[in-house]
Amino acid sequence: MVVMGIDPGFGRIGWGIVSYTNQKEKLIDYGCIETTPKSPLENRIYQIYKEITALIKKHHPNTIASEELFFGNNVTTALNVGQARGVIMLAAYQNKIPMFFYKPADIKLAVTGYGKGDKSQIQHMIKLILKLKEIPKPDDAADALAIALTYCYTNKSIHI
């Protein structure tokens, strides 16, 4: 099974692709989609859609996992990230790929064994689990890999 993890954002969207077969994890690829802050909103949204679609065509994930959105008081950020999330969902839907969403505490629990783990603990575990020489950079990509692994560890249908 190939899983694409998405760390949603607007200026930067982390993505990570892992395979999970016979309860063994393997890194396929990871990176970030970065949009230009001064570009018009519609250009940035289209760029996100286009790049996610290209990643789907290249890696053929069976599923896409993403972090659930939570924002405190910054309405503008919430709206922009929500729009980015919408085009990611559209790309998944157009390619008949199911999407799953996880709360930050669930991601921390799945990857570190502790629901209140910090970013450095998650990054360290990603390095260990995927047998990497160094922690994936930028942080958004490491987070996306953690989200992909969360799907692998928590989805009961792939453990049958």
Entry field: residues in the chain: 160
30 and 37 Cβ atoms separated by less than 8 Å: no
Which domains, ranges and CATH numbers included, belong to the chain?
2-155 (3.30.420.10)
The DSSP output letter for 68 is: P
CB atoms within 10 A of CB 70: 8
Annotated catalytic residue, options 34, 51, 134, 140: 140
pLDDT tens-digit map of 25-45: 999 999 999 999 999 999 999
106 annotated binding-site participant: no
Q: Which two tokens stand for residue 22?
A: 């016979």
149 and 110 Cβ atoms separated by less than 8 Å: yes
The candidate with the shortest Cα–Cα distance to 139, out of 28, 9, 39, 2, is 9
Confidence class for position 157, pLDDT limits 50, 70, 90: low
What's the CA gap between 3 and 115, in Å, rounded?
Answer: 22
143 in active site: no
User: What average pLDDT does range 70-80 have in this prediction?
Assistant: 77
Annotated catalytic residue, options 25, 51, 67, 143: 67
140 annotated binding-site participant: yes
What's the CA gap between 70 and 27, in Å, rounded?
Answer: 27
- pTM higher than the cut 0.75: yes
